[in-house]
Amino acid sequence: IGMGYEVIEGPEVEEDRYNFEMMNLPKDHPARDMQDTFYITEEILLRTHTSPVQARTMEKHDFTKGPLKMISPGRVYRRDSDDATHSHQFHQIEGLVIDKNITMGDLKGTLEVFAKQLFGADREIRLRPSYFPFTEPSVEVDVSCFKCGGAGCNVCKHTGWIEIL
């Protein structure tokens, strides 16, 4: 979308330390139980999010050469029962910016451009405060419903919004 982000992909079969520990989810963290992970061995698993790509990239990035702006799209896996809103395998995209003087306003502006490019110029976004142990502050993102324009319909469960991030 022409915003200077590098697209970086990583392994779908991941090490436990990148998927959990480097995301501030140590071995005894309750989120591991909630994620219902597909373990291959005790230390190897199918990644449950694309965040491990960020950890690997931060390890390698030379910050003396400038800031880091990246997105990491990819497939992720969880032991969810498949239904209308859940799947054991789905696609996820995450972004990361490390630079000086970055604000929540920068994040909101980036997400607005992203949503309008992906879903149409008439889309609005809504940020909802949330908690993730690996980001602070944390938000979830909704986009105004593409079918009803935010008025409420069966697609958006009559809320006018669809969660995208």
pLDDT digits (tens, 9 = 90+) for 91-134: 998 889 999 999 999 999 999 998 899 899 999 999 999 988 77
Over residues 68-92, the mean pLDDT reads 88
Yes or no: say if 125 and 112 are a contact pair by the CB < 8 Å rule.
Answer: yes
Rounded Cα–Cα distance for residues 117 and 14 (Å)? 31
Q: What is the token pair recorded at 36?
A: 């219902």
For the ranges 27-36, 44-53, 150-159, which has the lowest average pLDDT?
A: 27-36
How many angstroms separate the CA atoms of 127 and 109, rounded? 11
Instruction: Tell me: pLDDT of 63 over 80.
Output: yes
Its sign, for the CA torsion 149, 153, 156, 157, is positive
pLDDT over 60 (residue 81): yes
Confidence at 34, pLDDT banded by 50, 70, 90: low
Statement: residue 27 has pLDDT above 80 = no
pLDDT at 33: 64
Which stretches does DSSP call E strand in the chain?
6-7, 13-15, 44-46, 68-77, 89-98, 125-132, 135-144, 161-163
Pairing of strands 135-144, 44-46: unpaired
Asked whether residue 18 carries a pLDDT value surpassing 60, the answer given is yes
Tell me the domain boundaries of the chain. Answer: 1-99, 103-164
pLDDT value at residue 31? 62
Quote the pTM value.
Answer: 0.81
Does residue 1 carry a pLDDT above 60?
A: no
When the candidates are 3.40.50.150, 3.30.930.10, 1.10.540.10, 3.30.1330.60, the CATH number that belongs to 1-99 is 3.30.930.10
Q: Measure Cα distances from 82 to 74, 78, 86, 127 in Å.
A: 19, 10, 5, 27
Per the model's pLDDT, the better-predicted residue between 85 and 141 turns out to be: 141
Q: How confident is the model at residue 12 (pLDDT cuts 50, 70, 90)?
A: very high
CA dist 34 and 44 (Å) reads 18
- Hey, what are 85's tokens? 């809103």
What is the structure's pLDDT at 30?
65
Instruction: Name the DSSP class of 100.
Output: T
- Tell me if 25 sits within 8 A of 74, measured CB to CB: no
Work out the average pLDDT over 31-43: 78
